[in-house]
Amino acid sequence: MTDAKKQEERVKAQQYAELMNEPFVDPYPELDTPSGPPPPPNQLNDELSDEQLVELLKKRGATISSLEDLKPKPTPEELAEKEREKQGAMLAHGLSTGKFKKEEYDAYQRAQSNKIAVIREDIAEQFQAAFPELSPEAIEEKVANYMFENLGPDDAVRQAREKELLTLADMKISDKYKNIVSLPKDYEMHLEGLNKQANFEKKVQATLPVFKADVSKALESLRKFTVSVPDSKNPENTVNLELEYSDADLKEVESLFITNDQIIRAVNGMTFDQLKGEAELVLVKKHLPRLISQAAKNYNAIQKDKYINGRKGLITGNDHLPVHDDKLNDTLEEVYSELISKKKKK
């Protein structure tokens, strides 16, 4: 790179540092500090867009198309080091996942460094199989003739044959060491998977507080509900029972929903209505039978009060009503079954 080009890169780095309010990093520290004062500080409005900044810098002589052009470019040495690190990470991935062994990788490297030797050995094996009576020296002569080694290295015929053999060597190496050849693609897929997992975990962390609040809100909205227990002989004697889940009931169901699987469902788009419907079904299955048992006692008390008050003439028409304690459980069981059926249909 010429000194003029390096000087231009230094100016870009200076402008970038001033724009981003960062320390100036000399991309070519081995050079002396450029003569003359640094570019004057930019009197920029904080509300200027990137495009406006680029246009302003162009007017000041900068040869750029975007602010990215102002960033110091990595040196060839830095690029080479980055590539070595990548190759080392790929090799470690292949070995750690059992795609191949170190001995296979070393053999692959040797084959890649001398493809002609690989194909020459293959040709010799084919000739030996076809002419088992020939000595090793005679086989070697046939191989040399086949590869036109009697011709000079610059001969067009010999070069054409070598090109053909190199193509065959590539095919043979790719087939024999397919797990190593496919390593770059596999490694990129591995990195892509890691990035997806990292992004998903970020989504989970962002979703978790909202999901916990939704679970709490859904359960609280389900805490109390009313069940009507009809009296077929006297509809006016229908009783509306208010049932209420306890804090312990809600806490237990909450623990069933604050799990990794449920949070993943939330990340993947589970709606609040879906959450509430499933929470209601769990509550009904786990705790409604106990509430019904408690409700039976309340029902008996209400019916007996009505009966007694009717006998005293306080409630017209109730002086002849029997207390159907024996039918209460059947009636509430029907209510329970109906609730379960409705929740499953949802």
- Residue-wise pLDDT for 32-45, tens only, equals 444 555 545 444 44
Helix (H/G/I), strand (E/B), else coil: 239? strand
Q: Tens of pLDDT along 224-257?
A: 988 777 766 767 767 777 888 999 999 999 999 9
202 found inside a domain: no
Check pLDDT > 90 for residue 140: yes
Q: Cβ distance 13 to 72 under 8 Å?
A: yes
Q: Are residues 50 and 166 in the same domain?
A: no
Cα 335 to its chain centre, rounded Å, is 45
Q: How many CB atoms lie within 10 A of CB 327?
A: 14
| Judgement on whether residues 122 and 237 belong to the same structural domain of the protein | no
**In this predicted structure, what is the pLDDT of residue 52?**
80
In the chain, alpha helices (H): 3-20, 50-59, 76-96, 102-113, 115-130, 136-146, 156-176, 178-181, 183-221, 247-257, 260-267, 272-311, 325-345
User: Dihedral angle at the C-alpha atoms of 127, 130, 132, 133, nearest 10 degrees?
Assistant: -100
Which one of 28, 51, 70 terminates a domain?
70
Q: Could you tell me if 224 and 340 lie in one domain?
A: yes
At 301 the pLDDT is 63
Residue 195 resides in a domain:
no
What is the value of pTM for the model shown?
Answer: 0.51
What percentage of the chain carries pLDDT values higher than 70?
A: 76
Phi-psi map region of 240: left, alpha, beta (phi>0 left; psi -120 to 50 alpha): beta
Beta carbons within 10 angstroms of residue 177's beta carbon: 19
Is residue 287 included in any domain, yes or no? yes
Name the residue among 339, 252, 250, 243 with its Cα closest to residue 293: 243
Q: Is residue 313 part of a domain?
A: yes
Looking at the structure, do residues 156 and 80 belong to the same domain, yes or no?
A: yes
Q: How far is CA 198 from CA 94, 237, 277, in A?
A: 21, 62, 31
Same domain, 258 and 156: no
**Domain range spanning residue 330?**
207-345
Calculate the CA 253 to chain-centre distance: 28
Structure token digits, residue 229: 């227990």
| pLDDT above 70: residue 63 | yes
One domain for residues 85 and 50 = no
Q: Count up the domains in the chain and report the number.
A: 3
Residues 242 and 331 occupy one common structural domain:
yes
Instruction: Based on the fold, state whether residues 177 and 294 are members of the same structural domain.
Output: no
Residues 6+ apart with CB under 8 A from 256: 282
Q: How far apart are CA 125 and CA 119, in angstroms?
A: 10
Q: How confident is the model at residue 268 (pLDDT cuts 50, 70, 90)?
A: confident
Range 77-85 average pLDDT: 92
pLDDT of residue 32: 47
Residues 211 and 340 in one domain: yes
Among 14, 37, 70, the domain boundary falls at: 70
| 46 shares its domain with 91 | no
The residue from 41, 70, 99 where one domain ends is 70
Q: Looking at the structure, tell me whether residues 170 and 243 fall in a common domain.
A: no
Let me know whether 25 and 155 are in one domain. no
Does residue 303 sit within a domain? yes
